[in-house]
Structure 1
Amino acid sequence: MRTAYRVETVRAAERALMEGLPEGALMQRAAAGLAAACADLLGGRRAGARVRGPGVSGARVALLVGSGDNGGDALYAGARLARRGAGVTAVLLTPERAHRGGLRALRAAGGRTVDATARAASGDLAEAAVAQADLVLDGIVGIGGKGGLRPEAERLVAAVRGLLVAVDLPSGVDADSGEVPGAAVRADLTVTFGTYKPGLLVDPAHTHAGALRLVDIGLDPWLPAEPDVTALHHADLAELLPLPSAESDKYRRGVVGVVAGSARYPGAAVLAVAGALRGGAGAVRYVGPAADAVIARFPETLVHTGPPHKAGRVQAWVVGPGLGDAWDARRDLEDVLASDVPVLVDADGLRLMPPAATRTAPTLLTPHAGEAAALLGTSRAEVEANRLRSVRALAARFGATVLLKGSTTLIAQGTGPVRVNPTGTGWLATAGSGDVLSGLTGSLLAAGLTPLDAGSAGAYLHGLAARRATGPGGTPITAYEVATALGDAWADVLDGPAGSRH
């Protein structure tokens, strides 16, 4: 599991660690890890690089150096690369405030420095150093930086033609929130120290970070047990997924009820049921006007015309996909919300949900950014700019667990860490994919998972299935293809590196 902590927590851990270390030792640990990552990248050993590196010896490296420790990390790493034969030039954005010890180390190793504003008859020296470099280190601002890049830094970043490595965090993004308030670095690789920061895992900042590499500098003993953000791995999912025992029957495995579809949107019912049938529950009950379409595709489904409370025993409900806004849609929604079992509310259910809806049983809301904006009374752009704040606000306002769909899907309760889903692909932005996710997640609820775990597992499997469906080249997919690939995604998790649970 990846864990991420806010800047204030990281700073406190660093202070505690440094009390027991010689002066400068922590920066040297960071610089050593940073230099090693750059050497790997220059040697072509890092996947996903835009350009294959030439190797360290003879490589041209430029350091974009701001004030403070972030610039110091870049300078000391540059000194290590220079000692291995790289030609290193440090471009100093604030020469008078550059890290003194780092400058001495770089110059002693044969590196050179240039003022960011330096001009000569031959042209702009700083821009030329950046443009000609095989690799550029972004040491402009650290994790405490606020706001976008200043014009001089933005100009130099725009001149980069080689590989770009961010030191701890891409400059211009917010470490705590993942916001990108202005111009910001887009890195090929971000080398972060001690622990991940929330912004590295959450869009829009996540897309600026490129590949992530964590350097252990010894912070773990001083970090609190509960992080701010987590991202699950295969092994974590394998522990969550419900597996039947020899004594299982369909009721012990859980029965999920699906209230979805309408005369206008019968396909939403089919897709929600498709996800539910592949989500681990023992049976699916469908309630709504699309029974014929559902049975035609999935004859194992139990169907009922409604109302939901008369459909039979269920351990969880899914309500909302393609429901429309007719009077019976509102009736069925209120019927489901009045039940004493876990309920997942999606799509039209979110739009029709009474503002004062309160439940004692667990509730999971699954909005996309537009739906979240309507629930919060703000704009879609605001939700997408600060996804962490938005998902936390929704969870607090409705007293529910919230799965906020999008480029990075987040799952939050009223308290505790926010979970970030690490799987998925842009091809999931296709009609009906959310209906599949709702059915899948509802089935996991019925099988006994908590809303937080069901939302996390559902999003993970959904994203993994989409990756499988797109294939190695990344081709367009349909929602039904995602549903069809869920079985393979489930098998991938159970048979992953942590070993099989079969």
Structure 2
Amino acid sequence: MRAAEDSGALIVSVDLPSGVDADTGQVPGDAVRADATVTFGTYKPGLLVDPAREYAGAVRLVDIGLGGELGAYEPELEALQYADVQRLLPVPGAESDKYRRGVVGVVAGSARYPGAAVLCVAGALRGGAGAVRYVGPAADAVIARFPEALVSDGPPAKAGRVQAWVAGPGLGDDAGRLRDVVDADVPVLIDADGLRLVDRDAVRARTAPTLLTPHAGEAAALLGVSRGEVEAGRLDAVRELAARYGATVLLKGSTTVVAEARGGGAVRVNPTGTSWLATAGSGDVLSGLAGSLLAAGLGARDAGAVGAFLHGLAGRLAAEGAPVGAQDVADAVPLAWRDVGA
């Protein structure tokens, strides 16, 4: 392997780079780093999920006539394409008003982290819901940036009608507001500090959908393992979290994956994104965006997958190969939406 890499020659792998795990995307030891991989019949998980994806290079799928045989099997992974996302995007009808389109509530931010609230609301306002209610101590910062937001400093239960809640970004140690949200009988997205504070039994007891959106470090803390273990085995980690919490889980990272509540069904792999999205506040925008899709009527799995797709595409459009901030990503979500909906 090292001789091939040191030679400077173009390295092409056939079906899969030697040394990577086809089913999990793990790389247990030495492996070939290919410039390109020609694979057959169907994409293997190891070609879609990091760390193995980095070893595959450019991937070309060759049809060898397995369509009928493949149709008899339940896939372990799936990736939404433009047409799939276009079909799922919530579009208002002639009789729609802000309430029919959905209202998303946001419980985020603190005196120390008011920007998290602003960025979460920014994502929510661009996610398809008709209105955003913000509840928390960063109301002045939110209303200064987004006068269309509906703000309140009281408990979430008294903030008014919502079809979904987003809780956690920049929340600090405000467990009381989080409990109020978890007790609500509407879909809930929990991120960031909310993941640290939430009670697993309370999540499992919920009857309305729950979407958890950890990055690898947060997932590691929830599972009681190292971050490296999560990054080396994303599929196992996201399925285990979904099973433990009885919730849909969106595991963020170089490969973003979404597992259905309780870990069943195919894991969705997000095909969009850019390394420039690794910037402070980017996850807050994604939380607001996905939460807004929940309020607009998408199920937790679809809201997570569509939110990640739009967020990744917005990051790519905003960056164009250069550094961007989280607000730039939020501002590019309408461009991504138009690109998908065209």
TM range (shorter): over 0.9
Of residues 429, 432, 451 in structure 1, which corresponds to 2:281? 432
CA drift at 1:168? 0.1
Residue 380 (structure 1) aligns with = 227
Query: Structure 2, unaligned stretches of length 5 or more?
Result: none
CA drift at 1:225? 4.8
Residue 277 (structure 1) aligns with = 125
How far apart in 2 are the matches of 1:297 and 1:318?
19
Residue 61 (structure 1) aligns with = none
Letter in 2 for 1:428: L
Residue 305 (structure 2) aligns with = 456
Of residues 217, 238, 250 in structure 1, which corresponds to 2:86? 238
SS at match of 2:200: coil
How far apart in 1 are the matches of 2:98 and 2:73?
38
Higher RCO (CA 8 Å, separation ≥ 6 residues): 2
Residue 188 (structure 1) aligns with = 35
Please, what is the CA RMSD of the aligned residues?
0.8
Residue pair 2:5, 2:33 contacting (<8 A) in 1 also: no
Of residues 340, 346, 361 in structure 1, which corresponds to 2:185? 340
Cα deviations by residue, 1:187-213 (Å, 9 ceiling, x for unpaired): 121111111111110000011111111
Residue 443 (structure 1) aligns with = 292
Letter in 1 for 2:127: G
Cα deviations by residue, 1:416-463 (Å, 9 ceiling, x for unpaired): 100000111111110000000000000000000000000000000000
How far apart in 1 are the matches of 2:23 and 2:195?
29
How far apart in 2 are the matches of 1:384 and 1:157?
27
SS at match of 2:201: coil
How far apart in 1 are the matches of 2:268 and 2:200?
26
Cα deviations by residue, 1:45-71 (Å, 9 ceiling, x for unpaired): xxxxxxxxxxxxxxxxxxxxxxxxxxx
Structural mapping, 1:62-211, within 5 Å: 154-211=1-58
Residue 212 (structure 2) aligns with = 365
How far apart in 1 are the matches of 2:119 and 2:52?
32
What is the TM-score when the length of structure 2 is the normalising length?
0.97
Letter in 2 for 1:340: D
- Using the TM superposition, name which of 419-428 and 181-190 deviates more: 181-190
Of residues 413, 416, 420 in structure 1, which corresponds to 2:269? 420
How far apart in 2 are the matches of 1:309 and 1:297?
24
Q: 1:225 to 1:447 in 2, by over 3 A?
A: farther
How far apart in 2 are the matches of 1:155 and 1:449?
48
CA drift at 1:494? 0.7
Residue 482 (structure 1) aligns with = 329
Cα deviations by residue, 1:108-133 (Å, 9 ceiling, x for unpaired): xxxxxxxxxxxxxxxxxxxxxxxxxx
CA drift at 1:315? 0.3
Matched, 1:467 2:321: no
Letter in 1 for 2:332: A
How far apart in 1 are the matches of 2:45 and 2:314?
25
Matched, 1:293 2:138: no
How far apart in 1 are the matches of 2:256 and 2:50?
9
How far apart in 1 are the matches of 2:2 and 2:33?
13
Query: Structure 1, unaligned stretches of length 5 or more?
Result: 1-153, 496-502
Structural mapping, 1:204-283, within 5 Å: 204-223=51-70, 224-283=72-131
Of residues 246, 252, 257 in structure 2, which corresponds to 1:399? 246
CA drift at 1:220? 1.6
Cα deviations by residue, 1:80-136 (Å, 9 ceiling, x for unpaired): xxxxxxxxxxxxxxxxxxxxxxxxxxxxxxxxxxxxxxxxxxxxxxxxxxxxxxxxx
Letter in 1 for 2:283: G
Of residues 146, 159, 163 in structure 2, which corresponds to 1:315? 163
How far apart in 2 are the matches of 1:196 and 1:378?
29
Q: How many pairs align?
A: 337
Cα deviations by residue, 1:336-373 (Å, 9 ceiling, x for unpaired): 00010000000000000113222111000000000000
Residue pair 2:211, 2:247 contacting (<8 A) in 1 also: yes
SS at match of 2:37: strand
CA drift at 1:289? 0.2
How far apart in 1 are the matches of 2:340 and 2:7?
39
Letter in 2 for 1:314: V
How far apart in 1 are the matches of 2:29 and 2:16?
15
CA drift at 1:158? 2.7
How far apart in 1 are the matches of 2:55 and 2:297?
37
Computing the radius of gyration over CA atoms, which structure comes out larger, 1 or 2? 1
How far apart in 1 are the matches of 2:75 and 2:208?
27
How far apart in 1 are the matches of 2:336 and 2:108?
25
Letter in 2 for 1:478: G
How far apart in 1 are the matches of 2:184 and 2:19?
47
How far apart in 2 are the matches of 1:159 and 1:438?
43
Residue pair 2:213, 2:252 contacting (<8 A) in 1 also: yes
How far apart in 1 are the matches of 2:131 and 2:222?
32
How far apart in 2 are the matches of 1:225 and 1:435?
37
SS at match of 1:485: helix
